[in-house]
Amino acid sequence: MTKETDWEERYQQEDTPWDKDEPAPGLIDWLNKQTLAPETRVLVPGCGRGHDPSAWAKRGFETTGMDLSEIALSDARQKYETLPNLAFFPGNFLEEKPQEPYDLIFEHTLYCAIEPARRDEYAQALNHWLKPGGLFLAIHFVFPLTEEGPPFGASKEEIIERFEPGFELLNDWKPRHFEGRRDEEWMFLWKRKV
Ligand SMILES: C[S@@+](CC[C@H](N)C(=O)[O-])C[C@H]1O[C@@H](n2cnc3c(N)ncnc32)[C@H](O)[C@@H]1O
């Protein structure tokens, strides 16, 4: 059994190699083509310093970034405070529930960050945070799962098996990636079953 990661400590020590100081390239490409209703409310759980939520907010969507780490959120607020439709709040995606579920959840390097034993809880949490019929857009790390992590890898098959009971898979593809993450990422677009 691996030790739970102390995310606040990782930010405190600036030990954050995942942070590329910009939104994920695969997200940018998807946003360039999307045809979502402008009133779509977006949640980005495990948002870190807020780069991905900022990309949603810059397209005009009411966006919320959520993370366990107060330091990450403080940095996010400082960097993106000029975007009026972007808010950040501290929370545990696996353990809390929203007052009102969201229309869309975007995930990038949260599934690979949590303990693999908690992946079913993650799938359950989606049902709390996302409306029936809502969209779940995800960039997952796909490489073999080992005891070392985070990041903890996953196979495409495992991901599909986990989410298929509650979601319809609309599309999956290899996204444009950050340098150094070649062949490591796969993107999925799901619709929560009603
Ligand atoms: C690998 S980092 C990725 C951050 C961001 N998505 C990025 O790509 O820059 C994982 C993030 O998830 C957060 N996190 C881990 N478990 C969480 C949970 N249960 N609820 C909310 N955030 C969580 C951590 O604090 C950390 O910021």
Note the pLDDT of residue 51: 98
Enter the pTM of the model. 0.96
Is 130 domain-assigned?
A: yes
Is 2 domain-assigned?
A: no
Q: What is the CATH number of the domain that holds 158?
A: 3.40.50.150
| CA dist., res. 178 & res. 18, Å (int) | 10
Q: Which is more confidently placed, 5 or 148?
A: 5
Give the domain extent around 90: 42-192
Measured from the CB, is residue 141 less than 6 Å from ligand 1? Answer: no
Is 33 domain-assigned?
A: no
Is 135 domain-assigned?
A: yes
Cα end-to-end distance, the chain, whole Å = 36
Measured from the CB, is residue 110 less than 6 Å from ligand 1? Answer: yes
Measured from the CB, is residue 48 less than 6 Å from ligand 1? Answer: yes
Phi then psi dihedrals of residue 69, to 5 deg: -90, 120
Measured from the CB, is residue 94 less than 6 Å from ligand 1? Answer: yes
Number of independent structural domains in the chain: 1
- The vertex-108 CA angle with 57 and 123, nearest 5°, equals 110
* Alpha carbon nearest to ligand 1 atom 14, residue: 46
| CA dist., res. 18 & res. 162, Å (int) | 24
Is 136 domain-assigned?
A: yes
Confidence tier at 1 by pLDDT (50, 70, 90)? very low
Atom index in ligand 1 nearest the CA of residue 107 equals: 6
Is 36 domain-assigned?
A: no
Is 31 domain-assigned?
A: no
Is 23 domain-assigned?
A: no
The pLDDT of residue 183 is above 80: no
